[in-house]
Structure 1
Amino acid sequence: MLRSIINRLFGMLVVMAIVVTIVFVIVRVTPGDPAAVMLGPEASAADIAALRTKLGLDGSILEQFGRYVFGVVQGDFGQSIFLNQPVTQALAQRAEPTFFLTIFSLLIATIIALPVGILSAYWRGSIFDQVATTVAMFAASVPSFWLGLLLMQFFAVKLGWFDTSGYGGPGASLGNRLNHLVLPALALGLVSSALITRFTRASMLDVLNDDYVRTARSKGMSEWRVVLKHAFKNALIPILTVLGLTAALLISGAVVTETVFGLPGVGNLVVSAVLRRDYPIIQGALLVIAGLYVLVNFGIDMLYLLVDPRVRY
């Protein structure tokens, strides 16, 4: 087990090293001078030269890469051009809305998908199964931003239950801030639940007819215990995989949803940085999102060891 953990940690370091290299190269292969692109066509030569020095673009490629890697290792992703503050500080200030939005969306998706997927597999071929499968296929094809606009129009504009956008004022309470997250979390959670439902159903169908399930029934165990304790537990591996992938996708996929609902999260910050060509922010966000992907996958791998002891060997 220890060897497995060490191998995964080493794999995480390799992946992050590749990501750091790719992020570094992206800016350097941008057509034209990155500093001139950031400042625009009206910038003077002195301004461009000053920005090149500030970004560390005045040295050789190896020198630039060495400085960049050294800064990343220390947690220094550079200075935002337009916000005039460290990238880590800018990301930290926008992390709360994105964090809560991701957690709530995943919670909504899980609460919907797991029961529906289990019942759909248990009642295979029934009307419930057909309706659940159809709805899941439809939900998977619906863009989250379009669903968000529909929810906003009905629940916020028509019924007035929620605010249409924003995250509350500077002195807003936690309850008020969470109230702003209900609609975007529903939009992301409903769309994400489709994939989890289909994976849960497929995984349960693979195990419901296995010998150990029939043996458990023949021993007189209650049906709910057979389904949940024996069948569902052994179907958890692929379900955990899709839950981990969904969580990682929600972190990076909240960009459009945050923009639609005007949430001051990391996604909205990235959109603004792209429009302004604020490359340090874009680079920092890419590294953070990639790091979260890696951490989520590592956490799922560790859950494998707890759920199925066979994975340890």
Structure 2
Amino acid sequence: MLRAALNRLIGMLTVMAIVVTIVFIIVRVTPGDPAAVMLGPDANAADIQALRQRLGLDGSIIQQFISYIGGILRGDLGQSIFLGQPVTTALWMRAEPTFFLTIFSLSIATIIALPIGVASAYWRGSVFDQVMTAVAMFAASVPSFWLGLIFIQTFAVGLGWFPTSGYGGPYSSLGDRLYHLILPATTLGIVSSALIMRFTRASMLDVLNDDYVRTARSKGMSEWRVVVRHALKNALIPILTVVGLTAALLISGAIVTETVFALPGVGNLIVSAVLRRDYPVIQGALLIVAGLYVLVNFLIDMLYLLVDPRVRY
């Protein structure tokens, strides 16, 4: 198990090295002077030169790359031009809404998709299976921003059950802030549940007719135990894979939903940085999101070893 973990860790570090290199290249291939692009057309030569020195763009490419790697190893992702604060600070201040939104959305998606996927596979070809398959296809095709607007109009404006936007005031309790996340989390959860449900159904169909399932039934075990303890347990590998990918996509894909619900999260920060041409924030956010994406996949790989010992061999 330790050897498998080390192999996956080496792969994770390799991917992050590639990501760091790509992020470094992005700014350097920007048409014209990146510092001039960041400051806009009204900047004078002195301001541009000062920014070039602050960003380390006045040295050779090798010097810039070494300096860039050194900053990352120190935890220094640069200074935000518009916010006037370190990128790590800006991202950390916006991390809480995105973190809780991702956790709640993934929980809702799993709670919806897992039992429905198992039931659809168990009653394959029934009316329930056909209806749920159609619902999953519809949910997968619905844009999250449209569903979010429908929820705002129905449950926030029409019924007044939830706030329309925001994340509570600066002195709001954690419960009040989480209350503001119910609608956006439900929006992302419903959209994300479609993929998990379809993979759960397909994975269960692969194992329900296997010999060990028929053997468990022949021993007189209850259907609940056969389906949950035997079939579902052996179908978890692809399900865990899609759940992990969904979690990673939610981290990077909450930008639209955070914008619709005006959540002060990382996604909203990235949108603002793009509009303001705040390249240090964009680079830093890209690195953090890529790192989280790789970390989630690494944790899923480790879960494989716990769920199915055969993976170790």
| TM-score w.r.t. length of structure 1 | 0.99
> What does 1:164-313 correspond to in 2, within 5 Å?
164-313=164-313
Shift of residue 3 of structure 1? 1.2
> What does 1:130-169 correspond to in 2, within 5 Å?
130-169=130-169
CA distance in 1: counterparts of 2:124 and 2:207, whole angstroms? 13
CA distance in 1: counterparts of 2:98 and 2:171, whole angstroms? 19
In structure 2, the partner of 1:119 is 119
Q: How many residues align?
A: 313
Return the letter of the residue paired with 1:267: G
CA distance in 1: counterparts of 2:208 and 2:23, whole angstroms? 46
In structure 1, the partner of 2:13 is 13
CA distances 1:145-172 after superposition (whole Å, capped 9, x unpaired): 1100100110000001111111011001
In structure 2, the partner of 1:93 is 93
Return the letter of the residue paired with 2:115: P
In structure 2, the partner of 1:105 is 105
CA distances 1:243-284 after superposition (whole Å, capped 9, x unpaired): 000000000000010001000000000000000000000000
Paired residue secondary structure (2:254): helix
Shift of residue 74 of structure 1? 1.1
CA distance in 2: counterparts of 1:160 and 1:193, whole angstroms? 26
Return the letter of the residue paired with 2:47: D
Paired residue secondary structure (2:82): coil
Return the letter of the residue paired with 1:293: Y
CA distance in 2: counterparts of 1:302 and 1:42, whole angstroms? 52
CA distances 1:166-213 after superposition (whole Å, capped 9, x unpaired): 101100111110111001001100000000000000000000000100
What is the root-mean-square deviation of aligned Cα atoms in Å? 0.5
CA distances 1:2-41 after superposition (whole Å, capped 9, x unpaired): 1111111111111000000000000000111111011111
CA distances 1:85-116 after superposition (whole Å, capped 9, x unpaired): 00000000000000000000000000000000
The answer to whether residue 35 in structure 2 is matched with residue 31 in structure 1 is no
Shift of residue 82 of structure 1? 0.5
CA distance in 2: counterparts of 1:69 and 1:251, whole angstroms? 24
CA distances 1:54-108 after superposition (whole Å, capped 9, x unpaired): 1110000110000000100111101000000000000000000000000000000
Paired residue secondary structure (1:133): helix
Return the letter of the residue paired with 1:109: A
Post-superposition, which runs of at least 4 consecutive aligned residues in structure 1 deviate over 3 A?
none
CA distance in 2: counterparts of 1:74 and 1:40, whole angstroms? 30
CA distance in 1: counterparts of 2:58 and 2:253, whole angstroms? 35
Return the letter of the residue paired with 2:151: L
Paired residue secondary structure (1:272): helix
CA distance in 1: counterparts of 2:234 and 2:225, whole angstroms? 13
Q: Which residues of structure 1 form unaligned runs of 5+?
A: none
Q: Which residues of structure 2 form unaligned runs of 5+?
A: none
CA distance in 1: counterparts of 2:171 and 2:2, whole angstroms? 47
Percent identity of paired positions between Structure 1 and Structure 2: 81
CA distance in 1: counterparts of 2:111 and 2:244, whole angstroms? 15
CA distance in 1: counterparts of 2:34 and 2:252, whole angstroms? 25
CA distance in 2: counterparts of 1:250 and 1:2, whole angstroms? 29
